Chain A
Amino acid sequence: MKKEDIDSPKNLALTREYAAKLEEYDQQQVAKAKIFDPKTLLERASKIHEVNHPTLGLLKFGELTLEDSEKIANQCKTDEEKTAMALFLMLKKAYPDMPDMTPKQFWKKFPMMEGGQLLNYFTTETGFLSPSTNSKSGSRSTRKRKR
Chain B
Amino acid sequence: MSAPLLGRNARLYKTGIVIGHGKNISVKAAAELIKDYDMDSLTPAIVAPGKQTFKWTAEKFYLNGSWMTLILAGTEFSMVFQPAGTYKTAPYEEWIGCVVLSVERTAGEAGGIIEKIEGEATVVTVHDS
Given contacts A1-B94, A25-B62, are A11 and B111 in contact (CB under 8 A)? no
- Shortest CB-to-CB span from B42 to chain A, Å, is 48
- Shortest CB-to-CB span from B123 to chain A, Å, is 11
Contact of B17 among A7, A10, A19 (CB under 8 A): A10
Interface size on B, residues (CB 8 A): 24
**Contact pattern, B 92-121, Cβ under 8 Å of A = 1, otherwise 0:** 001010000000000000011100000000
- Shortest CB-to-CB span from B1 to chain A, Å, is 8
**Interface of chain A: mostly helix, strand, loop or mixed:** helix
Please, which residues of chain A bring their CB within 8 A of the CB of B62?
18-19, 21-22, 25
Kindly count the residue-residue contacts between A and B in the assembled complex, taking CB atoms under 8 Å apart: 59
**Contact pattern, A 16-28, Cβ under 8 Å of B = 1, otherwise 0:** 0011011101100
Given contacts A6-B82, A6-B87, A18-B64, 15 further A-B contacts (CB under 8 A): A1-B80, A1-B94, A3-B87, A5-B16, A5-B17, A6-B11, A6-B80, A7-B86, A7-B88, A8-B16, A10-B17, A11-B16, A14-B18, A18-B11, A18-B21
What is the interface of chain B, defined by CB distance below 8 A to chain A? 1, 9, 11, 13, 16-18, 20-21, 23, 60, 62, 64, 78, 80, 82, 86-88, 94, 96, 111-113
